[in-house]
Structure 1
């Protein structure tokens, strides 16, 4: 017979759901200012990967749908990225405090940015070179953004801690 679930200090299940554990980890290890940036980074990476997967699937014929068009005009995914960033900008300009700095807005920002960065080569030369050798610059730019933002997210807490420790050390020396 299975043992009854053990109760923790709060009287609940000792093994909280994964979402609750993630929420607690975010609350303990990030500041409210870091969360939207983290959401933007995650959304950028997921959107970039999804856009590449979908475009490969459309081109390879193994996805059941085709390109998005308005009449006979093909709509590139950077168009949706621009629309998304315009919406995020509107939220920022309007300044609704409930949304400014919200992780959901950060995620939308990352999504829109990824859709644009994935077609950077097209926007650079105004030629559809997505599948050509020149289109590789879009991948390089996107991976560069993802890497730089990831480095920033991991390095900033380190440098803040180093600054704090150094400041405390200097203040101790001055007080002595």
Structure 2
């Protein structure tokens, strides 16, 4: 295990990214645990208020830690212990910020509402992308090119452009998750681009405007997909985010 860790993480210079991911996930889980305890009135933790009784959300220290970690990492370069320390600081800040992503998005305290589920979704998506990066995946399929193709500038640029177009099509078709993951795994973007667009997406409004059969098929496919997966996704979000606990009180 130690040899594998050195060969795949330390030697390629991925240790700061590994530490940032670990502190990001750990901070998110600890924060969710504390907020659930505060909501339930258990433990020693309490909400923090500033001058005038204003509730200070943890996104505030999260922004500070993200700025310190980011600028610190840029300033210290890649050698020594400092990049690892700042990577941990950055991961902690990112965990605090993205835990309240839904509040930033809606500019409202939706932490325990259905809209607050977006925070859990963004955290899971971010952690997944970082893990793919740690595993060696490069943006837009660069990792799939041979050494000869990398040296051939035309082939290199063409590969980037084609894969980027697949990502854009998937995004326009309302396949946000597939588009994001597809930036690192082009096959996912290709699947998202080739499948029917989700109802209400930009692609569906433009391409299916005069094609009622295509609109009907797209709506039926989206219905069956959501029926199959939404329940499992919501159960996972309930376990991680504590939304079910909130609804039961």
Q: TM-score, normalised by structure 2?
A: 0.51
* 8 Å CA contact retained: 2:67, 2:90: no
1:29 aligned residue: 8
Alpha-carbon distance, 1:93 to partner: 5.3
* 8 Å CA contact retained: 2:103, 2:116: yes
Question: Relative to total residues, which structure has the larger helix share, 1 or 2?
Answer: 2
- Which of 44, 50, 53 aligns to 1:64? It is 44
- SS of 1:156's partner is coil
Return the alpha-carbon distance in structure 2 between the equivalents of residues 29 and 97 of structure 1: 17
Q: Which runs of 5+ in 1 are unaligned?
A: 1-20, 169-176
Alpha-carbon distance, 1:89 to partner: 3.4
Return the alpha-carbon distance in structure 1 between the equivalents of residues 15 and 50 of structure 2: 36
Return the alpha-carbon distance in structure 1 between the equivalents of residues 78 and 47 of structure 2: 38
1:119 is the counterpart of 2:100: yes
Q: Which runs of 5+ in 2 are unaligned?
A: 149-249
2:133 aligned residue: 152
Distance change in 2, residues 1:101/1:36 (3 Å): farther
RMSD: 2.7
Superposed, 1:48-87 pairs within 5 Å as: 48-71=28-51, 72-87=53-68
Select the structure with the greater relative contact order (CA < 8 A; seq sep ≥ 6). 1
Aligned residue pairs: how many?
144
Superposed, 1:92-103 pairs within 5 Å as: 92=73, 94-95=75-76, 102-103=83-84
Alpha-carbon distance, 1:26 to partner: 3.4
- Deviation string, structure 1 residues 44-103 (Cα, Å, up to 9, x no partner): 111111111110011011222211122311111110110101212342454466668722
Alpha-carbon distance, 1:140 to partner: 0.6
